[in-house]
């Protein structure tokens, strides 16, 4: 599983995300990723035998990172609910100017089914949130609003100002209770 000399896998995954973000999702070619990762095409294909496997790797890495970040937030002192941890985490993620998951568009273009694990993850997360509240309406509003924030960030639509985002987050936290 582990590479012997260096961990090329993670370098490659990071390079793929970088290429998609900087050159556009349509420019995510194996050559571009390899070059960006400081690796030859052969080297890339050794680690990810197929472009599809690379996409899959991106999805898995994204999901495990997100999971870890959410768990860390939820474990922090002063969080009354997973929902508020999710809100704050998403607010921070979306505060960054450049979207970090542009590669998702490449994955969808390759095959929409690549996002199935992400859908499953979100479904699971929603179930978890449902379990900790009895106000389903408010939960849904918050959940969808977060989804909207993430989507706007992904599409690089900076429709909201900094102040507005802060107001939004505090409104959401209030609704979340």
* Residues within window 119-148 making contact with a copy of itself, judged by CB under 8 A: 119, 122-123, 126, 136-138, 140-141, 143-148
Q: Which of 9, 89, 101, 105 is nearest to 54 (CA)?
A: 9
Q: Is 53 in the site for a copy of itself (CB under 8 A)?
A: no
Per CB under 8 A, which region of 5-13, 52-60, 73-81, 104-112 contacts a copy of itself? 104-112
Span from 36-44, 70-78, 115-123, 168-176 in contact with DNA (CB under 7 A): 36-44
Give one word for 38, left, alpha or beta, with left for phi > 0 and alpha for psi -120 to 50: left
DSSP three-state, residue 159: coil
CA distance 176 to 94: 19
- Which helix (DSSP H) or strand (DSSP E) does residue 27 occupy? none
Report what 43 binds from DNA, a copy of itself, none; CB cut-off 5-8 Å by kind: DNA
Residue 22 binds DNA, judged by CB under 7 A: no
Query: Does the footprint of DNA cover residue 50 (CB under 7 A)?
Result: yes
* Residue 48 or 143 with smaller CB distance to a copy of itself: 143
Pick one of 10, 11, 25, 35: the residue that binds a copy of itself (CB under 8 A).
Answer: 25
Hunting for tokens 């095409």 — which residue is that? 41
Cα 67 to chain centroid, rounded:
10
């Amino acid at each position: 599983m582990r590479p012997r000399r260096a961990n090329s896998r993670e370098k490659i995954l990071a390079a793929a995300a970088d290429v998609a973000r900087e050159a556009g999702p349509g420019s995510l070619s194996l050559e571009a990723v390899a070059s960006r990762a400081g690796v030859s095409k052969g080297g890339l294909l050794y680690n990810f035998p197929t472009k599809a496997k690379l996409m899959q790797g991106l999805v898995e890495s994204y999901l495990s990172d997100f999971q870890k970040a959410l768990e860390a937030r939820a474990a922090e002192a002063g969080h009354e609910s997973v929902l508020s941890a999710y809100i704050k985490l998403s607010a921070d993620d979306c505060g960054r100017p450049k979207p970090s998951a542009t590669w998702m568009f490449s994955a969808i273009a390759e095959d929409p089914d690549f996002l199935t694990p992400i859908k499953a993850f979100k479904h699971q997360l929603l179930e978890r949130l449902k379990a900790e509240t009895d106000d389903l309406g408010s939960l849904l509003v918050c959940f969808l609003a977060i989804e909207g924030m993430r989507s706007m960030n992904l599409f690089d639509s900076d429709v909201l100002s900094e102040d507005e985002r802060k107001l939004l987050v505090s409104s959401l936290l209030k609704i979340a209770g």
